[in-house]
């Protein structure tokens, strides 16, 4: 005899004769038989077939590294991609390419006599715009002369120009290489009148310049930072030393390329003269972050380069400071590569740094009356000084949006204390993605803050995907924004 089965469901009550169907698309055949006197009745057999429905497809997970936000139009993305950096690069390279073409066709005779000066002149400008001292001078001049009173479009243009000076650096570097190739071709055309040592030196120098340029490609510098340091910075110095002149008394000072080379040498040497080994206190609030504390205060918008070696492997981090009057300044170092891991696993007591700090785009915050500062994770290091110091100068001038996971525990009491001591709760949004169950709608936060704050500009410090998301959203919303550049 068939026994009935009873299943207790605490939410739905008592259910009798419950049969669980398989989850696949299967056909189940059931036979029901009535029994009389312990024997089945032949005329009471019923067969039933039940087909279970196919399971619903599982939702597809987004592929790692792909954006999950609604992408902007292709035109908007092109405008973001073709930024001032690439515009500068295009202008410089085009201008020099026309010159090389005219010289090659013998329509312009000056470069044939002074090709070395054109090559070194381009390289001189490339080094000049990357020099920390020259950069600080430009930022100081713009911030002093044009802050707040000039039209907004002009101030935005100033910020964009200063942020993308690397386009001039890259354009002049490539153009200098082009003139070097042109010079080398002229030497080989007249090789009967040239010494073999000069020919060999020209070839070696050209090869060195090729490696210098290739090592600066983004995929090389981002994944092999030490390769970039060894080849781009130090081979560049060696390239300078391979040039020669005819040293007939004072005749050498009449060469244009001599003065270009002298200027290059000075601007290369200046930052290295400021290298010092300084005391550092390392606070490790979590395995993900090291907070480094140095003596003396700093102005806002600066970045520091530090290394365990006096010569190699310098890494840039945003400086956090309460002002030039403060006793200390701080760096937030997120654990990513070998260098930052060593700060946690083997904290140093002293570290090498360049005392001459270089200015970042946040340094132009003083140009604007009101602004929004958006950052994620360790990007706070490049943002916090601006919110602290500029807000002190003019009350309620900056609004901070900081997105991170378990911020208090991850970044420790020092960073949290700086925020709560100097920035009122009405002037920040600290979004803890762990407590709130995930990332926010960042553009919603930005748009609301931009409108409520009557802001003029948005500065962004985030990873690549976060930067793209906010930049695209701001571009489509008509909000002036400056994002992160991986071009130090």
- Whole-number pLDDT of residue 189: 77
Tell me the mean pLDDT in the region 178-198.
78
- Nearest-angstrom CA–CA distance, 246 and 244: 7
Q: How confident is the model at residue 242 (pLDDT cuts 50, 70, 90)?
A: very low
- Nearest-angstrom CA–CA distance, 173 and 177: 6
Strand partners, 283: 291
Higher-confidence position of 39 and 457: 457
Residue 282 near residue 332, CB atoms below 8 Å: no
- Nearest-angstrom CA–CA distance, 304 and 462: 18
| Structure tokens that stand for 141 in this block | 């001049």
- Asked if residue 487 is part of any domain, the answer here is no
Q: Three-state SS for 242? A: coil
- Nearest-angstrom CA–CA distance, 202 and 213: 17
- Whole-number pLDDT of residue 261: 84
Tell me the mean pLDDT in the region 260-288.
91
- Whole-number pLDDT of residue 326: 93
- Whole-number pLDDT of residue 375: 94
Tell me the mean pLDDT in the region 22-50.
49
- Asked if residue 67 is part of any domain, the answer here is no
| Lowest mean pLDDT across 138-142, 235-239, 372-376 | 235-239
- Whole-number pLDDT of residue 62: 41
Length of the chain: 488
| Structure tokens that stand for 373 in this block | 């500062």
Please tell me whether residues 321 and 423 are part of one structural domain. Answer: yes
- Whole-number pLDDT of residue 251: 62
Is residue 29's pLDDT more than 70? no
As a three-state string, the secondary structure of 98-136 is HHHHHHHCCCCCHHHHCHHHHHHHHHHHHHHCCCHHHHH
Is residue 30's pLDDT more than 60? no
Please tell me whether residues 319 and 454 are part of one structural domain. Answer: yes
Closest Cα partner for 281 from 347, 341, 222? 347
Q: Three-state SS for 243? A: coil
Q: Name the domain boundary from 255, 274, 293.
A: 274
Tell me the mean pLDDT in the region 154-164.
96
| Structure tokens that stand for 70 in this block | 């609604």
- Nearest-angstrom CA–CA distance, 315 and 309: 11
Higher-confidence position of 455 and 38: 455
Rounded to whole angstroms, what are the CA distances from 214 to 80, 211, 319, 369? 24, 5, 30, 41
Q: What is the pLDDT of residues 392-441, one digit of tens each?
A: 555 447 899 999 998 989 999 999 999 999 998 889 999 999 888 888 99
- Whole-number pLDDT of residue 65: 42
Q: How confident is the model at residue 488 (pLDDT cuts 50, 70, 90)?
A: very low
Higher-confidence position of 49 and 272: 272
Please tell me whether residues 205 and 327 are part of one structural domain. Answer: no
Q: Which long-range contacts (CB under 8 A, 24 or more apart) does 133-142 make?
A: 133/267, 133/270, 133/271, 133/356, 134/267, 135/162, 135/165, 135/358, 135/359, 136/356, 136/357, 136/358, 136/359, 138/162, 138/165, 139/301, 139/359, 139/363, 139/364, 142/364, 142/367
Q: What is the pLDDT of residues 333-386, one digit of tens each?
A: 998 878 889 999 999 999 999 999 999 999 999 999 999 999 999 999 999 999
Q: What is the pLDDT of residues 73-110, one digit of tens each?
A: 899 999 999 999 999 999 999 999 999 999 988 888 88
- Nearest-angstrom CA–CA distance, 183 and 177: 10
165: containing domain: 76-274
Rounded to whole angstroms, what are the CA distances from 193 to 198, 203, 367? 11, 17, 58
Q: How confident is the model at residue 18 (pLDDT cuts 50, 70, 90)?
A: very low
Q: Name the domain boundary from 244, 274, 304.
A: 274
| Lowest mean pLDDT across 25-39, 106-120, 218-232, 445-459 | 25-39
- Whole-number pLDDT of residue 313: 81
What CATH code is carried by the domain that includes residue 456?
2.40.30.10
Q: Which helix (H) or strand (E) holds 139?
A: helix 132-146
Give all strands (DSSP E) within 230-384, no chain letters: 275-279, 281-286, 289-295, 302-307, 315-321, 328-334, 350-354, 358-359, 371-376
Tell me the mean pLDDT in the region 10-28.
40
Rounded to whole angstroms, what are the CA distances from 336 to 37, 172, 289, 293, 344? 79, 32, 9, 19, 11
Please tell me whether residues 257 and 400 are part of one structural domain. Answer: no
Please tell me whether residues 183 and 244 are part of one structural domain. Answer: yes
Please tell me whether residues 305 and 412 are part of one structural domain. Answer: yes
Please tell me whether residues 13 and 94 are part of one structural domain. Answer: no
| Lowest mean pLDDT across 122-136, 232-246, 266-280, 349-363 | 232-246
Rounded to whole angstroms, what are the CA distances from 210 to 91, 131, 235? 21, 22, 10
Q: How far is CA 123 from the centre of its chain?
A: 25
Q: Are strands 281-286 and 275-279 parallel, antiparallel or unpaired?
A: unpaired
| Average pLDDT along the chain | 81
Q: Name the domain boundary from 241, 274, 307.
A: 274
Tell me the mean pLDDT in the region 152-159.
96
- Whole-number pLDDT of residue 21: 39
- Asked if residue 16 is part of any domain, the answer here is yes
- Asked if residue 152 is part of any domain, the answer here is yes
Please tell me whether residues 307 and 248 are part of one structural domain. Answer: no
- Nearest-angstrom CA–CA distance, 139 and 133: 10
Q: How confident is the model at residue 300 (pLDDT cuts 50, 70, 90)?
A: very high
Higher-confidence position of 200 and 294: 294
Q: Three-state SS for 358? A: strand
Is residue 480's pLDDT more than 90? yes
- Nearest-angstrom CA–CA distance, 210 and 177: 8
Q: Which helix (H) or strand (E) holds 481?
A: strand 481-482
- Asked if residue 59 is part of any domain, the answer here is no
- Which residue is it, tokens 């340029």? 213
- Residue environment code for 85-111, b if the CB has 16+ CB neighbours within 10 A, otherwise e: beebbeebbeebeebbeebeeeeeeeb
Please tell me whether residues 34 and 108 are part of one structural domain. Answer: no
- Asked if residue 80 is part of any domain, the answer here is yes
- Asked if residue 367 is part of any domain, the answer here is yes
- Whole-number pLDDT of residue 50: 45
- Asked if residue 57 is part of any domain, the answer here is no
Please tell me whether residues 232 and 191 are part of one structural domain. Answer: yes
Q: How confident is the model at residue 26 (pLDDT cuts 50, 70, 90)?
A: very low
Rounded to whole angstroms, what are the CA distances from 440 to 214, 384, 398, 445? 39, 20, 20, 8
- Whole-number pLDDT of residue 278: 95
Number of domains in the chain: 3
- Whole-number pLDDT of residue 485: 82
Tell me the mean pLDDT in the region 64-70.
55
Please tell me whether residues 265 and 308 are part of one structural domain. Answer: no
Q: Which helix (H) or strand (E) holds 7?
A: strand 6-9
Please tell me whether residues 148 and 258 are part of one structural domain. Answer: yes
Structure pTM? Answer: 0.79
Is residue 155's pLDDT more than 50? yes
């Amino acid at each position: 005899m068939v026994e009935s089965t009873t299943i207790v469901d605490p939410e739905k009550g008592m259910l009798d004769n419950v049969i669980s169907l398989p989850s696949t698309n299967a056909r189940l055949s059931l036979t029901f038989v009535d029994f009389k006197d312990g024997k089945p009745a032949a005329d009471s057999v019923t067969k039933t077939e039940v087909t279970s429905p196919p399971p619903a497809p599982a939702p597809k997970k987004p592929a790692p590294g792909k954006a999950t936000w609604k992408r902007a139009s292709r035109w908007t993305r092109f405008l973001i991609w073709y930024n001032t950096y690439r515009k500068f690069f295009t202008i410089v390279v085009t201008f020099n390419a026309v010159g090389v073409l005219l010289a090659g066709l013998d329509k312009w005779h000056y470069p044939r006599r002074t090709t070395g000066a054109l090559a070194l002149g381009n390289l001189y400008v490339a080094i000049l715009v990357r020099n920390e001292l020259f950069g600080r001078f430009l930022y100081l001049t713009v911030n002093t002369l044009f802050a707040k009173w000039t039209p907004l479009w002009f101030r935005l243009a100033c910020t964009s120009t200063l942020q993308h000076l690397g386009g001039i650096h890259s354009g002049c570097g490539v153009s200098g290489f082009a003139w070097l190739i042109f010079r080398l071709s002229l030497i080989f055309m007249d090789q009967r009148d040239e010494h073999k040592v000069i020919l060999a030196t020209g070839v070696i120098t050209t090869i060195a310049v090729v490696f210098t340029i290739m090592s600066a490609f983004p995929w090389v510098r981002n994944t092999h930072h030490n390769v970039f340091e060894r080849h781009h910075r130090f081979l560049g110095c060696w390239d300078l030393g391979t040039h020669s002149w005819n040293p007939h008394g004072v005749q050498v000072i009449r060469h244009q390329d001599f003065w270009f080379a002298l200027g290059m040498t000075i601007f290369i040497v200046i930052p290295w003269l400021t290298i010092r080994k300084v005391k550092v206190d390392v606070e490790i609030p979590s395995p993900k972050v090291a907070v480094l504390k140095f003596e003396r205060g700093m102005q806002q918008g600066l970045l520091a380069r530090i290394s365990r070696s006096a010569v190699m492997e310098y890494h840039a981090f945003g400086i956090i400071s309460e002002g030039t009057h403060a006793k200390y300044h701080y760096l937030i170092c997120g654990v990513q590569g070998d260098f930052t891991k060593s700060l946690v696993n083997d904290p140093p007591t002293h570290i090498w740094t360049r005392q001459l700090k270089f200015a970042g785009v946040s340094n132009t915050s003083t140009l604007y009356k009101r602004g929004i500062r958006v950052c994620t994770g360790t990007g706070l290091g490049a943002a916090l000084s601006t919110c602290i110091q500029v807000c002190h100068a003019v009350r309620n001038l900056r609004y901070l949006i900081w997105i991170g996971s378990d911020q208090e525990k991850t970044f420790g009491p020092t960073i949290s204390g700086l925020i709560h001591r100097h920035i009122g709760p009405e002037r920040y949004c600290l979004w803890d993605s762990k407590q709130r169950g995930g990332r926010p709608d960042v553009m919603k936060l930005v748009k609301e803050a931009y409108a409520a704050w009557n802001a003029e500009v948005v500065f962004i410090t985030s990873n690549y995907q976060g930067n793209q998301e906010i930049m695209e959203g701001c571009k489509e919303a008509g909000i002036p924004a400056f994002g992160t550049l991986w071009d130090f």
